Structure 1
Amino acid sequence: MNITFRVCFLACMLMFGSCATNPFTGKQTMALVSNDQLFPASFQQYDAFLKEHKVVKGTEDARRITRIGERIAKAAERYLNANGYVGYLKGYQWEYHLVDSEEKNAWCMPGGKIVFYTGILPIAGSDAGIAAIMGHEVAHALANHGQQRMSAAYIQQGIAIAGNVAITDDQSRDLFNQYYGIGSNVAGMLPFSRSHEAEADRIGIVLMAIAGYDPAVTPELWKRMESSNVPELLATHPSNASRISSLNALVPNARAEAKKFGVTSFTE
């Protein structure tokens, strides 16, 4: 058994032997890094970030972020418990902070650590707009997208190492590295990222509806988002046009899911 075969065999064993179940799709996902490893590192990074940035405290906007975040987290727990995933949120330590920045962004780290930038609040507009953004970001954490991205990066690097070991000719190795780097991103990592964004949209719109926020706000929110000029093939996110179309189609299902939990009226 040569070294190239051993490297590839080990990579395959790791990939198929280290899986988790996505509770929203029921599908197996890559989990080369466990949440037991990922969460503590995430919490440390979050604490370090807060120390280095201006956290807004005691304002109505700061209270809104916490209030809406708590409702989204509760909606997630209700959904997971109802679908047979009691205890799925073990290890999550929900935390919500508003950070003073013109950046139009928000994020949720693995384990439930959330940051909203003040720059995105005018785009969100209403509580339901904040809930739409919050639901999407929380969905990334709940579906373990960070874990999957790290796992995919390890596999990408492993294949690169195997290729460099197998190819002994310098010129051929240089060509492999050049084309593999471009090809694995365009055909692998970027579509992977776009699929995560689409999945977070599908999960997030359901969570916000269960939390009592009108899912119809979500496509309108994306109409207010700045559109990128990068072709979708080369982007980490779906285009705004395709996203708005998909979200419009998801609204009826989100309302139907919320109705299962007794939620029939929504905050806009």
Structure 2
Amino acid sequence: MTRNSITLLLSASLLLGACTSTPTGRSQLAFQDSGKMAAMGAQSFEQLKQKEKVSQSKALNEYAQCVSQAIVNEVPPSFGYDPSSWEVVVFESDQVNAFALPGAKIGVYTGLMRVADNQDQLAAVIGHEVAHVLAKHSNERMSTQILTSVGLLAAGVALSDSDNKGIYMAVLGAGAAYGVILPYSRVHESEADYMGQELMAEAGFDPEAAVELWHNMAKASGGKQPPELMSTHPSHQTRISDLTHGLVQFEPIYQQAQASGKRPDCVKPKMPPPASKES
């Protein structure tokens, strides 16, 4: 059996039994063990806590925990997460960012807390990040990258006798990035926007705040954003448009949540000065 045949068989074996679907019904390739992903998430979180500056502000941490807890309380039991098991940490950094990891870990940067004007806008981001975990996007992305690497290996074997192998592989590598990995990432982001907006509405946060947040994000970025084709994220305008369309579906869910008594009361504390302005 040739090396090329072995590579193709390996690719086929990875595909068999690896196809599943996300909560939105989209087919996905995710063959990494969930327990392994959770362990990797927990390990990465511990490393981040050692590397990054963890906020010691009780008010900031309680605010992030209040919003996060309201969101994770809406995660259906079928996902296997105990609402009380999520660890939430605030990092002192000007990064306008937040993240959630397999293993029930949430990180929020103070830079984001400045851009998010209120609890509803912060909930839009945390809901989005938790949605990444629920949809197993990190598992899918890792699986896709592994399969892409196998495909490039097969191409390398096929081109082994070519004088231009290096050039061809460079082109294939770029094609893999822009043709497979990045578009998948944009799909992940759009899917997480949809799921996150639903989660925040179910928790009693106003889903319209997700639209307001991305207007803030667009202003904060100063219009500096790569073309959507070469970006791992949809453009700000694409997100604003999609989230606006989602209001038709999620506003009634929000109103129902409020009527049932789900009225989060997470008060944004006074923010410290940006890290870049501290002496």
Same fold (TM over 0.5): yes
**Matched AA of 2:33:** S
Tell me which residue corresponds to 1:162.
154
Counterparts of residues 251-262 of structure 1 (less than 5 Å): 251-258=247-254
Q: 1:230 to 1:71 in 2, by over 3 A?
A: same
Tell me which residue corresponds to 1:212.
204
Gapped regions of structure 2 (runs ≥ 5)? 266-279
Q: Contact (CA 8 Å) 2:71, 2:200: kept in 1 or not?
A: yes
Alpha-carbon distance in 2 for matches of 1:189, 1:239: 17
Q: Deviations over 1:70-115 (max 9, x none)?
A: 11001123xxx5xxxx354379941101111111111111222111
Instruction: Give the alignment partner of residue 140 of structure 1, picking from 129, 132, 135.
Output: 132
Tell me which residue corresponds to 1:4.
4
Aligned-residue offset at 1:9: 2.2
TM-score normalised over the length of structure 2: 0.86
**Matched AA of 2:248:** P
Q: Contact (CA 8 Å) 1:206, 1:255: kept in 2 or not?
A: no
Alpha-carbon distance in 2 for matches of 1:115, 1:186: 28
Counterparts of residues 180-191 of structure 1 (less than 5 Å): 180-191=172-183
Tell me which residue corresponds to 2:21.
21
Q: 1:6 to 1:65 in 2, by over 3 A?
A: same
Q: Contact (CA 8 Å) 2:89, 2:108: kept in 1 or not?
A: yes
Q: 1:142 to 1:123 in 2, by over 3 A?
A: same
Tell me which residue corresponds to 1:124.
116
Q: Highest relative contact order (Cα 8 Å, sep 6+), 1 or 2? A: 2
Q: Deviations over 1:235-263 (max 9, x none)?
A: 01001111101110001211234466675
TM-score normalised over the length of structure 1: 0.89
Q: 1:262 to 1:122 in 2, by over 3 A?
A: closer
Instruction: Give the alignment partner of residue 230 of structure 1, picking from 226, 229, 245.
Output: 226
Alpha-carbon distance in 2 for matches of 1:177, 1:91: 46
Instruction: Give the alignment partner of residue 165 of structure 2, picking from 170, 173, 177.
Output: 173
Alpha-carbon distance in 1 for matches of 2:226, 2:34: 33
3-state DSSP of counterpart to 2:6: helix
**Matched AA of 2:251:** R
Aligned-residue offset at 1:266: 6.2
Q: Deviations over 1:121-164 (max 9, x none)?
A: 11111010110110011111110100011001101110111111
3-state DSSP of counterpart to 1:230: coil
Counterparts of residues 47-86 of structure 1 (less than 5 Å): 47-77=46-76, 81=77, 86=78
Alpha-carbon distance in 2 for matches of 1:172, 1:205: 49
Q: Contact (CA 8 Å) 1:96, 1:114: kept in 2 or not?
A: yes
Q: Contact (CA 8 Å) 2:91, 2:108: kept in 1 or not?
A: yes
**Matched AA of 1:234:** M
Aligned-residue offset at 1:68: 0.8
Alpha-carbon distance in 2 for matches of 1:198, 1:172: 38
3-state DSSP of counterpart to 2:88: strand
Greater displacement, 91-100 / 136-145: 91-100
